A and B are shown apart, each in its own frame.
Chain A
Amino acid sequence: MPDDRATDSMASAADNGQFLTFTLQNEEYGIEILKVQEIKGFSKITPIPNAPPFVRGVMNLRGTVVPIIDLRARFSMTEKDYDQFTCIIVVNVGTRVVGLVVDTVSDVLNIPNDSIADPPELASVGDSSCITGMGKLGERIVMLLDTGRLVGVEGIPADEMTAA
Chain B
Amino acid sequence: MNIDLEEFHAAFFEEVSEHLTGLEDGLLQLESRPQDDELIHGIFRAAHSIKGTGGALGFTEVAGFTHHVETVLDQMRQRQLSTTSERIELLLQATDALSSLIDAAKGDCAPPDNLDELVESLRRQIMPEGEVAASVILEATSEALILFDDEPATPLPTVAATPTAGGEPTRAKSANQAESIRVSVAKVEELINLVGELVIANSMVQQAYADESGDAQSLQEAIAAMDLTTQQLQEQVMAVRMMPIANVFRRFPRIVRDLASTLGKNVILETSGEETELDKQVIEEVSDPLTHLIRNAVDHGLETPAQRLAAGKPAEGRIHLRAFHEGGNVVIEIADDGAGINAQRVRQKAIDRGLIAADAVMTDDETNQLIMLPGFSTAEKITDVSGRGVGMDVVKRNVEALNGSISIRSTQGKGSTFRIRLPLTMAILDGLAMRLGNDVYVLPLLSVVESLRPEPKHIVHIAERGELVMVRGEPLPLIYTHRLFNVSGEPTNPCDGLVVIVEHQGRKYGIVVDELIGQLQVVMKSLEANYERVDGVSGATILGDGRIAMIVDIAGLVRLAF
Contact = CB atoms under 8 A, between A and B. Distances in A.
Interface of A: 1-2, 4-5, 44, 46-51, 55, 57-60, 63-67, 93-98, 129, 148-149, 151-164
19 contacts: A44-B547, A46-B439, A49-B484, A49-B537, A50-B535, A57-B548, A60-B548, A64-B525, A65-B526, A65-B540, A96-B169, A129-B163, A148-B164, A155-B167, A156-B532, A157-B171, A157-B528, A161-B373, A164-B373
A94 B537 contact: no
A1 B28 CA distance: 11
B164 A49 contact: no
A71 B529 CA distance: 21
A82 B547 CA distance: 18
Contacts, number: 140
Nearest to B167: A94
A22 to B, nearest CB: 20
A2 to B, nearest CB: 5
Given A46-B547, A47-B439, A152 B530 contact: no
Interface residues on B, range: 35 or more
A161 B547 contact: no
Contact of B166 (A58, A60, A63, A152): A152
B162 interface: yes
B374 A162 contact: yes
A93 B166 contact: yes
B207 interface: no
Nearest to B165: A156
| Max chain A C-beta neighbours (<10 A), residue from B33, B167, B487 | B167
Given A46-B549, A48-B537, A148-B167, 6 more contacts: A57-B548, A58-B548, A60-B548, A63-B525, A64-B525, A65-B526
Contacts of B189: none
A60 B530 CA distance: 12
A55 B392 CA distance: 35
A15 B552 CA distance: 49
B540 A58 contact: yes
Contacts of B393: 161
A158 B152 CA distance: 11
A68 B172 CA distance: 22
B530 A51 contact: no
Contact of A4 (B164, B486, B550): B164
A60 to B, nearest CB: 5
Contacts of A96: 166-167, 169, 529-531
A57 B547 CA distance: 12
B151 A50 contact: no
Interface string B479-515: 0000011110000000000000000000000000000
Interface string B313-335: 00000000000000000000000
A39 B187 CA distance: 41
| Max chain A C-beta neighbours (<10 A), residue from B155, B162, B530, B535 | B530
B159 interface: yes
Nearest to B171: A157
| Max chain B C-beta neighbours (<10 A), residue from A57, A66, A162, A163 | A162
Contacts of B549: 46
Nearest to A66: B530
A65 B532 contact: no
B536 interface: yes
B357 to A, nearest CB: 15
B109 interface: no
B358 interface: no
Contacts of A60: 542, 546-548
Given A65-B548, A94-B169, A159 B38 contact: yes
A153 B548 contact: no
Given A63-B542, A148-B166, A158-B155, A49 B536 contact: yes
B534 interface: yes
Contacts of B546: 44, 60
A159 B155 contact: yes
B380 interface: no
A153 B164 CA distance: 8
Contacts of B527: 48, 58, 65, 67
B164 A2 contact: yes
B530 A98 contact: yes
A132 to B, nearest CB: 12
A155 B532 contact: yes
